[in-house]
Amino acid sequence: MDDRMMKAVLYDRYGGPDVLYVGRVPRPRPARGEVLVRVRAFSVNGGELSARSGRVRFLTGRKFPQRVGLDFTGEVAGLGAGVTDLAVGERVWGVLGRTSGFGSAAEYVTVPAVRVGRVPEGLDLVAAAALPVATTAVTALRDKAGLRAGERLLVRGAAGGVGNAAVQLGRAYGAQVTALARAANLDFVRGLGAHEAVDHRVMGPGELGRFDVVLDTVGTDLRRYRGLLAPDGRMVTIAFDTARPVASLGFILASAVHGRGRVRFFSGNPQRAELDALARLVEEKQLAPATDTVFPLEETAAAHRALEAGGVRGKFVVEVG
Protein backbone atom coordinates (compact mmCIF):
# COMPACT_ATOMS: atom_id res chain seq x y z
CA MET A 1 0.00 0.00 0.00
CA ASP A 2 1.27 3.48 -0.90
CA ASP A 3 2.23 5.14 2.40
CA ARG A 4 1.99 8.51 0.69
CA MET A 5 -1.79 8.15 0.73
CA MET A 6 -4.32 7.86 3.57
CA LYS A 7 -8.00 7.26 4.20
CA ALA A 8 -10.26 10.28 4.67
CA VAL A 9 -14.00 10.93 4.75
CA LEU A 10 -15.09 12.95 1.71
CA TYR A 11 -18.16 14.13 -0.18
CA ASP A 12 -18.49 15.23 -3.80
CA ARG A 13 -21.82 17.06 -3.54
CA TYR A 14 -24.04 18.57 -0.88
CA GLY A 15 -26.75 16.36 0.54
CA GLY A 16 -27.69 13.94 3.29
CA PRO A 17 -25.33 11.65 5.22
CA ASP A 18 -25.28 9.19 2.31
CA VAL A 19 -23.04 11.53 0.28
CA LEU A 20 -20.17 10.69 2.65
CA TYR A 21 -17.65 8.04 1.67
CA VAL A 22 -14.16 6.92 2.68
CA GLY A 23 -11.67 7.75 -0.05
CA ARG A 24 -7.92 8.11 -0.37
CA VAL A 25 -6.07 11.40 -0.40
CA PRO A 26 -2.39 12.37 -0.10
CA ARG A 27 -1.02 12.13 3.42
CA PRO A 28 -0.15 15.65 4.57
CA ARG A 29 3.29 16.76 5.65
CA PRO A 30 3.78 19.21 8.49
CA ALA A 31 4.93 22.68 7.45
CA ARG A 32 7.00 24.92 9.68
CA GLY A 33 5.29 25.32 13.05
CA GLU A 34 2.96 22.36 12.45
CA VAL A 35 2.65 18.83 13.79
CA LEU A 36 1.47 15.71 12.00
CA VAL A 37 -1.05 13.83 14.13
CA ARG A 38 -2.00 10.19 13.66
CA VAL A 39 -5.73 10.49 14.35
CA ARG A 40 -7.24 7.95 16.75
CA ALA A 41 -10.73 9.44 17.01
CA PHE A 42 -12.86 12.49 16.29
CA SER A 43 -16.40 13.55 17.12
CA VAL A 44 -19.30 14.65 14.93
CA ASN A 45 -20.32 18.31 15.31
CA GLY A 46 -23.41 20.21 14.27
CA GLY A 47 -21.47 22.61 12.07
CA GLU A 48 -20.37 19.71 9.88
CA LEU A 49 -23.99 18.74 9.26
CA SER A 50 -24.81 22.25 8.10
CA ALA A 51 -21.77 22.30 5.83
CA ARG A 52 -22.37 18.84 4.35
CA SER A 53 -26.06 19.55 3.66
CA GLY A 54 -25.25 22.79 1.82
CA ARG A 55 -27.18 25.03 4.21
CA VAL A 56 -24.13 27.27 4.58
CA ARG A 57 -22.75 26.96 1.06
CA PHE A 58 -22.28 30.72 1.07
CA LEU A 59 -19.37 29.91 3.42
CA THR A 60 -18.24 26.50 2.13
CA GLY A 61 -18.36 27.22 -1.60
CA ARG A 62 -18.72 24.75 -4.47
CA LYS A 63 -15.27 23.20 -4.71
CA PHE A 64 -15.27 19.42 -4.21
CA PRO A 65 -14.39 17.01 -2.78
CA GLN A 66 -14.91 18.47 0.65
CA ARG A 67 -13.91 17.03 4.02
CA VAL A 68 -15.48 16.55 7.45
CA GLY A 69 -14.06 16.38 10.96
CA LEU A 70 -13.36 19.32 13.26
CA ASP A 71 -11.67 17.91 16.35
CA PHE A 72 -9.35 14.98 17.01
CA THR A 73 -7.32 12.93 19.43
CA GLY A 74 -4.21 11.00 18.50
CA GLU A 75 -0.44 10.80 18.71
CA VAL A 76 2.18 13.13 17.29
CA ALA A 77 3.61 11.39 14.21
CA GLY A 78 5.87 14.12 12.87
CA LEU A 79 7.17 17.60 13.64
CA GLY A 80 7.55 20.55 11.32
CA ALA A 81 10.55 22.84 11.49
CA GLY A 82 10.68 24.99 14.60
CA VAL A 83 8.46 22.78 16.77
CA THR A 84 10.42 21.99 19.93
CA ASP A 85 7.78 21.78 22.66
CA LEU A 86 6.19 18.50 21.51
CA ALA A 87 7.67 15.08 20.79
CA VAL A 88 6.78 12.26 18.42
CA GLY A 89 4.56 9.76 20.22
CA GLU A 90 2.93 12.22 22.63
CA ARG A 91 -0.84 11.87 23.06
CA VAL A 92 -2.58 15.04 21.94
CA TRP A 93 -5.98 16.54 21.20
CA GLY A 94 -7.14 19.66 19.45
CA VAL A 95 -9.61 21.47 17.21
CA LEU A 96 -8.84 22.64 13.68
CA GLY A 97 -8.73 26.43 13.39
CA ARG A 98 -11.36 28.59 11.74
CA THR A 99 -9.24 29.09 8.64
CA SER A 100 -8.45 25.37 8.30
CA GLY A 101 -11.98 24.19 7.66
CA PHE A 102 -12.81 20.54 8.25
CA GLY A 103 -10.56 17.55 7.70
CA SER A 104 -9.83 15.61 10.90
CA ALA A 105 -11.94 12.66 9.69
CA ALA A 106 -8.83 10.99 8.34
CA GLU A 107 -5.90 8.82 9.32
CA TYR A 108 -3.61 11.83 9.62
CA VAL A 109 -4.02 15.58 9.99
CA THR A 110 -1.59 18.47 10.15
CA VAL A 111 -2.29 21.30 12.56
CA PRO A 112 -0.33 24.25 13.96
CA ALA A 113 1.49 23.15 17.11
CA VAL A 114 -0.19 25.94 19.09
CA ARG A 115 -3.56 24.25 18.40
CA VAL A 116 -2.81 20.96 20.13
CA GLY A 117 -2.58 20.11 23.81
CA ARG A 118 -1.57 17.01 25.75
CA VAL A 119 -4.30 14.55 26.68
CA PRO A 120 -4.45 13.88 30.45
CA GLU A 121 -2.74 10.70 31.59
CA GLY A 122 -5.09 7.75 31.94
CA LEU A 123 -7.77 9.18 29.66
CA ASP A 124 -8.60 6.84 26.77
CA LEU A 125 -8.05 8.52 23.41
CA VAL A 126 -11.40 7.41 22.00
CA ALA A 127 -13.36 8.66 25.01
CA ALA A 128 -11.24 11.82 25.01
CA ALA A 129 -12.53 12.71 21.53
CA ALA A 130 -15.79 13.80 23.18
CA LEU A 131 -14.01 16.64 24.97
CA PRO A 132 -12.06 19.06 22.72
CA VAL A 133 -15.22 21.02 21.83
CA ALA A 134 -15.83 21.42 25.57
CA THR A 135 -13.32 24.27 25.32
CA THR A 136 -16.26 26.18 23.81
CA ALA A 137 -18.24 25.73 27.03
CA VAL A 138 -15.26 26.88 29.10
CA THR A 139 -14.85 30.03 27.03
CA ALA A 140 -18.60 30.72 26.96
CA LEU A 141 -19.14 30.48 30.70
CA ARG A 142 -15.82 31.63 32.10
CA ASP A 143 -14.77 34.32 29.63
CA LYS A 144 -17.80 35.50 27.66
CA ALA A 145 -20.48 35.32 30.38
CA GLY A 146 -18.30 35.62 33.48
CA LEU A 147 -20.49 33.10 35.33
CA ARG A 148 -20.28 33.50 39.10
CA ALA A 149 -21.11 31.19 42.00
CA GLY A 150 -24.74 31.47 43.06
CA GLU A 151 -26.00 32.73 39.70
CA ARG A 152 -28.81 31.03 37.77
CA LEU A 153 -27.62 29.37 34.54
CA LEU A 154 -29.86 28.07 31.77
CA VAL A 155 -28.26 25.64 29.31
CA ARG A 156 -30.21 25.07 26.12
CA GLY A 157 -29.30 21.85 24.29
CA ALA A 158 -27.93 20.49 27.56
CA ALA A 159 -27.51 16.88 26.44
CA GLY A 160 -25.33 17.73 23.42
CA GLY A 161 -21.58 18.02 23.03
CA VAL A 162 -21.10 21.57 24.32
CA GLY A 163 -24.25 21.53 26.43
CA ASN A 164 -23.28 18.54 28.57
CA ALA A 165 -19.92 20.14 29.32
CA ALA A 166 -21.66 23.42 30.22
CA VAL A 167 -23.89 21.62 32.73
CA GLN A 168 -20.87 20.01 34.37
CA LEU A 169 -18.92 23.26 34.43
CA GLY A 170 -21.85 25.32 35.66
CA ARG A 171 -22.17 23.01 38.65
CA ALA A 172 -18.40 23.11 39.22
CA TYR A 173 -18.45 26.92 39.12
CA GLY A 174 -21.14 26.99 41.80
CA ALA A 175 -24.08 28.11 39.64
CA GLN A 176 -27.68 26.95 39.94
CA VAL A 177 -28.06 25.00 36.70
CA THR A 178 -31.27 24.51 34.74
CA ALA A 179 -30.88 22.17 31.77
CA LEU A 180 -33.19 22.05 28.75
CA ALA A 181 -33.30 18.69 26.97
CA ARG A 182 -35.62 16.06 25.55
CA ALA A 183 -37.70 14.06 28.00
CA ALA A 184 -35.62 10.94 27.36
CA ASN A 185 -32.44 12.81 28.36
CA LEU A 186 -33.62 14.48 31.58
CA ASP A 187 -32.08 11.84 33.84
CA PHE A 188 -28.85 12.08 31.84
CA VAL A 189 -28.48 15.83 32.40
CA ARG A 190 -29.43 15.47 36.06
CA GLY A 191 -26.61 12.96 36.34
CA LEU A 192 -24.24 15.58 34.91
CA GLY A 193 -25.11 17.92 37.77
CA ALA A 194 -28.16 19.90 36.66
CA HIS A 195 -30.22 21.11 39.62
CA GLU A 196 -33.32 21.24 37.41
CA ALA A 197 -33.95 19.38 34.14
CA VAL A 198 -36.78 20.57 31.87
CA ASP A 199 -38.32 19.03 28.74
CA HIS A 200 -38.11 21.89 26.23
CA ARG A 201 -41.06 20.49 24.28
CA VAL A 202 -43.36 20.72 27.31
CA MET A 203 -42.28 23.94 29.00
CA GLY A 204 -41.79 27.02 26.82
CA PRO A 205 -39.44 29.94 27.52
CA GLY A 206 -42.20 31.99 29.14
CA GLU A 207 -42.52 29.45 31.95
CA LEU A 208 -38.86 29.15 32.90
CA GLY A 209 -38.30 32.26 35.01
CA ARG A 210 -35.27 34.55 34.95
CA PHE A 211 -31.61 33.70 34.59
CA ASP A 212 -28.33 35.49 35.09
CA VAL A 213 -26.72 33.57 32.22
CA VAL A 214 -28.29 31.80 29.24
CA LEU A 215 -26.07 29.54 27.14
CA ASP A 216 -27.70 28.61 23.83
CA THR A 217 -26.32 25.82 21.65
CA VAL A 218 -29.34 25.59 19.32
CA GLY A 219 -29.54 28.96 17.54
CA THR A 220 -33.32 29.29 17.04
CA ASP A 221 -35.76 31.55 18.94
CA LEU A 222 -32.89 33.64 20.28
CA ARG A 223 -35.15 36.64 20.90
CA ARG A 224 -37.45 34.63 23.19
CA TYR A 225 -34.58 33.21 25.21
CA ARG A 226 -32.92 36.59 25.53
CA GLY A 227 -36.15 37.70 27.16
CA LEU A 228 -35.38 35.39 30.10
CA LEU A 229 -32.40 37.46 31.23
CA ALA A 230 -32.50 39.05 34.66
CA PRO A 231 -31.18 42.60 35.05
CA ASP A 232 -27.46 42.49 34.24
CA GLY A 233 -28.01 39.04 32.69
CA ARG A 234 -25.78 37.75 29.89
CA MET A 235 -26.64 35.48 26.98
CA VAL A 236 -24.09 33.55 24.92
CA THR A 237 -24.93 31.57 21.79
CA ILE A 238 -22.63 29.36 19.77
CA ALA A 239 -25.17 28.78 16.99
CA PHE A 240 -27.48 30.66 14.64
CA ASP A 241 -30.58 29.59 12.77
CA THR A 242 -29.23 28.04 9.56
CA ALA A 243 -32.76 28.03 8.09
CA ARG A 244 -32.82 31.85 8.42
CA PRO A 245 -29.14 32.79 8.58
CA VAL A 246 -29.43 36.44 7.55
CA ALA A 247 -32.26 37.22 9.99
CA SER A 248 -30.63 35.23 12.79
CA LEU A 249 -27.20 36.80 12.44
CA GLY A 250 -28.83 40.21 12.00
CA PHE A 251 -30.61 39.84 15.34
CA ILE A 252 -27.38 38.84 17.07
CA LEU A 253 -25.58 41.88 15.67
CA ALA A 254 -28.45 44.23 16.50
CA SER A 255 -28.60 42.96 20.07
CA ALA A 256 -25.18 44.45 20.66
CA VAL A 257 -26.65 47.94 20.54
CA HIS A 258 -30.42 47.56 20.98
CA GLY A 259 -32.60 46.13 23.69
CA ARG A 260 -31.95 44.63 27.10
CA GLY A 261 -29.26 42.01 27.24
CA ARG A 262 -26.62 41.68 24.59
CA VAL A 263 -26.36 38.29 22.85
CA ARG A 264 -22.72 37.31 22.62
CA PHE A 265 -22.02 35.04 19.66
CA PHE A 266 -18.74 33.26 19.08
CA SER A 267 -17.27 30.24 17.39
CA GLY A 268 -14.84 28.09 19.35
CA ASN A 269 -11.24 28.49 18.20
CA PRO A 270 -9.10 26.97 20.98
CA GLN A 271 -5.35 27.07 21.20
CA ARG A 272 -2.88 25.48 23.63
CA ALA A 273 -3.93 27.55 26.65
CA GLU A 274 -7.59 26.55 26.32
CA LEU A 275 -6.72 22.90 25.75
CA ASP A 276 -4.44 22.89 28.79
CA ALA A 277 -7.23 24.44 30.87
CA LEU A 278 -9.50 21.65 29.65
CA ALA A 279 -6.95 19.04 30.74
CA ARG A 280 -6.79 20.58 34.22
CA LEU A 281 -10.57 20.42 34.55
CA VAL A 282 -10.46 16.73 33.68
CA GLU A 283 -7.60 16.07 36.11
CA GLU A 284 -9.49 17.92 38.86
CA LYS A 285 -12.56 15.79 38.09
CA GLN A 286 -14.72 18.81 37.31
CA LEU A 287 -15.34 17.56 33.77
CA ALA A 288 -15.64 14.09 32.26
CA PRO A 289 -16.22 12.89 28.68
CA ALA A 290 -19.77 11.88 27.77
CA THR A 291 -19.74 9.50 24.81
CA ASP A 292 -23.04 8.32 23.35
CA THR A 293 -21.90 5.86 20.65
CA VAL A 294 -18.58 5.03 18.99
CA PHE A 295 -18.64 4.36 15.22
CA PRO A 296 -15.84 3.03 12.98
CA LEU A 297 -14.48 5.34 10.29
CA GLU A 298 -16.38 3.49 7.56
CA GLU A 299 -19.65 4.34 9.34
CA THR A 300 -19.13 8.09 9.61
CA ALA A 301 -22.32 8.56 7.58
CA ALA A 302 -24.23 6.62 10.25
CA ALA A 303 -22.79 8.93 12.91
CA HIS A 304 -24.00 11.97 10.93
CA ARG A 305 -27.39 10.33 10.52
CA ALA A 306 -27.63 9.68 14.27
CA LEU A 307 -26.78 13.28 15.16
CA GLU A 308 -29.35 14.59 12.70
CA ALA A 309 -31.98 12.35 14.31
CA GLY A 310 -31.45 14.13 17.63
CA GLY A 311 -31.46 12.80 21.15
CA VAL A 312 -27.69 12.51 21.52
CA ARG A 313 -26.29 12.10 25.02
CA GLY A 314 -22.88 13.73 24.91
CA LYS A 315 -21.02 13.06 21.67
CA PHE A 316 -21.04 10.64 18.78
CA VAL A 317 -17.42 9.63 18.34
CA VAL A 318 -15.74 8.00 15.33
CA GLU A 319 -12.74 5.76 15.89
CA VAL A 320 -10.12 5.67 13.16
CA GLY A 321 -9.05 2.02 13.00
Q: What is the pLDDT of residues 205-248, one digit of tens each?
A: 888 999 999 999 998 888 899 999 999 999 999 875 555 554 45
- The confidence score (pLDDT) of residue 1 equals 54
Instruction: Tell me the per-residue pLDDT of 288-320, one tens digit each, with 9 for 90 and over.
Output: 999 999 999 999 999 999 999 998 999 999 999
Any idea where the domains of the chain sit in the sequence?
5-131+270-319, 134-265
pLDDT band at 256; cut points 50, 70, 90: low
The CATH number, out of the four listed (3.40.50.10490, 3.40.630.30, 3.40.630.10, 3.40.50.720), of the domain defined by the range 134-265 = 3.40.50.720
* Buried b / exposed e along 146-170 (16+ C-beta atoms within 10 A): ebeeebbbbbbbbbbbbbbbbbbbb
Give the mean model confidence (pLDDT) for residues 96-118.
Answer: 91
The reported pTM is 0.91
What does the CA dihedral 174, 176, 177, 178 come to, rounded to 10 degrees? 180
Mean pLDDT of the chain: 91
pLDDT in tens, 55-76: 888 888 889 999 999 999 999 9
Return the CATH number of 5-131+270-319, one of 3.30.1480.10, 3.90.180.10, 3.30.750.24, 3.40.630.30.
3.90.180.10
Q: Beta strands 176-181 and 152-156: pairing type?
A: parallel
pLDDT attached to residue 3: 79
